[in-house]
Amino acid sequence: MRARLTLLAGVLSVIVSCAGCQAGGVEPDGGRAAVVPAELMARAKQDGWVRVIVNLRVPSGSTEAAVRAAREAVVAVLGPASYRIVREYATIPAVALVVSADALNRLARSPHVTSVQADMPLEPKR
């Protein structure tokens, strides 16, 4: 019985750790580059800037202080000329930014980032 529970715990651990993985396999750098889609990186290189939502790595049920600390850690490595904050969220572990291609590369390497996606304004449904 104990062996089954240990096996089940191991399987659940692998499933949870891959929950944020994206299709396309593991990148040569250990998978960190997979947090930024290739299309988004290409667009940033072509246009110079791209608007994104950065999802932050914080423990489940984190406080506003933990979300703020993760956001500050991410922004601290970007370089002042490579980003602009569009929107900060107090309780949602995310931040909306306009970033350069260099900043996207830094976001891809950050252990505080789970994913980066394009921020595309949507029209309200009527």
Beta-strand runs (E) in 37-126: 50-56, 83-88, 94-99, 113-118
Q: What is the CA radius of gyration of the chain?
A: 17
What band does 26 get if pLDDT is binned at 50, 70 and 90?
A: very low
Domains within the chain, CATH numbers bracketed = 2-118 (3.30.70.80)
pLDDT digits (tens, 9 = 90+) for 42-65: 999 999 999 999 999 999 888 999
pLDDT digits (tens, 9 = 90+) for 71-111: 999 999 998 889 999 999 988 999 999 999 999 999 999 99
Q: Which residue from 25, 17, 26 is spatially nearest to 57, judged by alpha carbons?
A: 17
Amino acid at 94: A
Q: Residues with Cβ < 8 Å from 5, sequence gap 6 or more?
A: none
